[in-house]
Amino acid sequence: MPMRQVKTEAGTLTYELCRKRVKNLNLRVRADGSIAVSAPAGVAVAAVDEFVRRKAGWIAQVEQKLADRRLPDPEYGALLGHRVPLVVEEGPPGVWPRQGALYIGVEPGQDPGAALDAFRLQRAEPVFQRALALARARFGQEPLPPVQVLCIRPMKSRWGSCIPAKGKVTLNAHLMKKPFACIEYVAAHELCHLLVPNHGPAFYQWMDRVMPDHRQRKAWLNQPDPGV
Ligand SMILES: [Zn+2]
């Protein structure tokens, strides 16, 4: 969609112009504060600009309301079960550990939580590989098939999954918020699936054998996080 800018008394407004089969010009301010205008094909852009200019006062009011409603910046983040103080600043995007805190640089309107998710995802692989290695060591001399593919991504409804036939293990990137003992629990759970694909009694016999405290770890895993 083409973006346009108009100068108004209150400063420059940027809006997205969308040509639609509508009768009238239509303007809305989205939840993120961006402005979208839908216009019938026949209306000249100059007329659309003028329309936006006339609405500037109303737009300012709506944006102020949205700003008031916006959640305050999070104060703590979760990293391997720890509660880490966050310092959110407008600036170059990224996350930097400094003096026991994480500094999160965000562009205006950007969500610091999303920046933190990206930071954790970047650092997940060595952590998850270590959890898998330690979980594997628990099987001792048992012939456990290798993990051919480790996939790490954010998931909504599960901590991990395993496709035994492909040796593919997927771990939820959000595990980076959890204590390492919980990550190791999920790793052991998925490795057990390499031997038993379902959650039948044989599966739990393996879990009891390789990780006798797996139930406590699972309960710990589902505790609330100490931060975003
Ligand atoms: Zn399972």
Q: Residue 9 is inside which H or E element, if any?
A: none
Domain assignment present for residue 226? The answer is: no
Ligand 1 center to 110 CA (angstroms): 35
| Among 51, 85, 116, residue at a domain's last position | 116
Split at pLDDT 50, 70, 90, the class of 127 is: very high
Q: Please indicate, yes or no, if residue 161 is contained in any of the structural domains.
A: yes
**Same domain, residue pair 147 and 200:** yes
**Spatial separation of the C-alpha atoms in residues 189 and 206, rounded to whole Å:** 9
136 lies in some domain: yes
Distance 62 CA to ligand 1 centre (A): 47
| One-letter amino acid of 134 | L
Domain end residue (candidates: 52, 69, 86): 69
How many domains, in total, are found in the chain?
Answer: 3
Asked whether residue 132 is domain-assigned, the answer is: yes
Q: Give the distance (Å) from ligand 1 centre to CA of residue 189.
A: 6
Flag whether 52 is in a domain.
yes
Percent of the chain beyond pLDDT 90? 79
Cβ atoms of 115 and 123 within 8 Å: the answer is no
Expressed in angstroms and rounded, the spacing between residue 60 Cα and the centre of ligand 1 is 51
Q: What's the 211 CA to ligand 1 centre distance in angstroms?
A: 15
- Average pLDDT, integer, range 170-183: 98
Q: Check whether residue 144 and residue 89 sit in a common domain.
A: no
The H or E element spanning position 151 is strand 149-153
* CATH for 190: 3.30.2010.10
Q: Which amino acid is at 211?
A: M
CA 187 to chain centre: 21
CA of 207 to the centre of ligand 1 (A): 11
Asked whether residue 15 is assigned to any structural domain, the reply reads: yes
pLDDT for the residue numbered 128: 98
CA of 199 to the centre of ligand 1 (A): 6
Residues 125 and 217 in one domain: yes
Q: Which of 86, 101, 116 is the last residue of a domain?
A: 116
For residues 93 and 50, state if they share a domain.
no
Per-residue pLDDT tens digits for 22-52: 899 999 998 778 899 999 998 999 999 999 9
Range of the domain at 130: 120-221
Ligand 1 centre and the CA of 161: distance in Å? 6
C-alpha of residue 85 to centroid of ligand 1, in Å: 34
What span, in angstroms and rounded, lies between the C-alpha atoms of 162 and 187? 10
How far is residue 129 from each of residues 36, 116, 159, 196, measured CA to CA in Å? 45, 21, 15, 21
Same-domain status, 103 and 35 = no
Q: Are residue 101 and residue 125 in the same domain, yes or no? A: no
State in Å: Cα 188 to ligand 1 middle: 10
- State mean pLDDT over 63-85: 87
Over 80: is that where the pLDDT of 72 sits? Answer: no
How far, in Å, is the centroid of ligand 1 from the Cα of 116?
A: 28
Confidence class of residue 68 from pLDDT cuts 50, 70 and 90?
Answer: confident
Q: How far is the CA of 198 from the centre of ligand 1 (A)?
A: 7
Query: How much is the pLDDT for 43?
Result: 93
Is there a single domain that holds both residue 128 and residue 191?
yes
- Pick from 36, 27, 28, 30: which is nearest to 4 by CA? 36
Q: Are 124 and 217 contained in the same domain?
A: yes
How far is residue 209 from each of residues 50, 138, 192, 202, measured CA to CA in Å? 73, 9, 10, 11
Question: Are 92 and 137 members of one domain?
Answer: no
Structure-token pair, residue 196 = 């038993």
Helices within the chain (DSSP H only): 45-54, 56-69, 112-137, 180-195, 201-210, 214-221
Instruction: List Cα–Cα distances, 175 to 32, 163, 172, 189, 221, in angstroms.
Output: 28, 19, 6, 14, 9
Query: So what's the pLDDT on residue 109?
Result: 78
Residue 151: pLDDT band with limits 50, 70, 90? very high
Distance 197 CA to ligand 1 centre (A): 8
CB 116 within 8 A of CB 95: yes
Q: What pLDDT, on a 0 to 100 scale, did the predictor assign at position 186?
A: 98
Q: Which of 81-85, 139-143, 146-150, 189-193 has the lowest mean pLDDT?
A: 139-143
With respect to residue 176, please indicate whether it lies within any of the assigned structural domains: yes
Q: Look up tokens 């290695």; give the residue.
A: 133
Instruction: Work out the mean pLDDT of the chain and round it to a whole number.
Output: 93
Domain shared by 85 and 126, yes or no: no
Question: In this structure, what token pair is assigned to residue 228?
Answer: 């975003």
Any domain includes 227: no
One domain, residues 35 and 100: no
Please report which helix (H) or strand (E) contains residue 167, including its range. none
* Same domain, residue pair 153 and 180: yes
> Which amino acid, one-letter code, is at 71?
L
